[in-house]
Structure 1
Amino acid sequence: MLHNAAQTYQTNQVTTAAPSELTLMLYNGAIKFVKQAKQSVSEKNYAKSHEACIKVQQILYELLNSLNKDYPISKDFERMYDYMLRRTVEANMRKDIAILDEVEDLFVQFRDTWKEAIALAKHQG
């Protein structure tokens, strides 16, 4: 019962969120799953690590697919997301925590910058 309520709440959050908030949710989700992958590798639970890495990859595909190509900066985002995707695949294959640390750091930088951009946009609007 409680699980269903939490799932309903989460679904409502996603369906009512602004696009900028959805991007923030994707960054936060990716960070959560990278942490899970790292923890699972350290515990030698490679199946769980694999599942977490696949979720990170799915988030990166979503970020890539949602890029607005009308803006020149989207090319830079595309290159970075592609790089992070390739590194996540490599980390998954090698079960390499150092690579996952790198991917996590990049997601944290994206997330923190995105939060600042949202705050600036709200302040200006």
Structure 2
Amino acid sequence: MNRMAALRQYQKVNSQAQTAVATPHRLVQMLMEAGLDRIAQAKGAIGRKDVAAKGVLIGKTIEIVGGLREGLDMEKQADALARVDNLYVYMMKRLAEANIKTDPRILDEVSGLLTTVKEGWDAIGDQQPA
């Protein structure tokens, strides 16, 4: 994960976290958490029929997933990372579709995918030596 790409993306979505001391692993976790939060907020905006907020929140989520994608080091383990890259591209397309169609079910799908990726990422962190 490219630490600076993750840091720039995280700051871009106005997070209050203390990124200056975060490890690259933690930065990715924070991005994923922020993405899941924005999806939940977008669903709330859909429920309130707040079209403007829905668009902004889904746009921020697309930016977050794009930041995760930019941070992939495609020179290492290219096969595995290519699959993750394709998944991030898919998520971004589905988010755009959710915005166009105002469809909370698509947001649920992307939230589930991102949660699965985050759970795997969290497990990697649990295995790292202290």
Would you call these one fold, judging by a TM-score over 0.5? yes
From 71, 74, 82, the equivalent of 2:77 is 71
The answer for unaligned runs of 5 or more in structure 1 is 1-8
Distance 1:109 1:29 in 2: 15
1:10 offset after TM fit, Å? 2.9
RMSD: 1.4
In structure 2, what is the equivalent of residue 6 of structure 1? none
In structure 2, what is the equivalent of residue 108 of structure 1? 115
TM-score of the superposed pair, with normalisation by structure 1: 0.87
Distance 1:99 1:27 in 2: 17
1:71 offset after TM fit, Å? 1.6
Matches within 5 A, 1:57-68: 57-68=62-73
1:83 offset after TM fit, Å? 0.2
The answer for unaligned runs of 5 or more in structure 2 is 1-14
Distance 1:43 1:54 in 2: 18
Distance 1:101 1:80 in 2: 15
Moved over 3 A (4+): none
Distance 2:20 2:59 in 1: 23
Aligned length: 114
TM-score of the superposed pair, with normalisation by structure 2: 0.83
From 79, 84, 90, the equivalent of 2:91 is 84
Identity over aligned pairs, percent: 27
Distance 1:60 1:28 in 2: 11
1:40 aligns with 2:45: yes
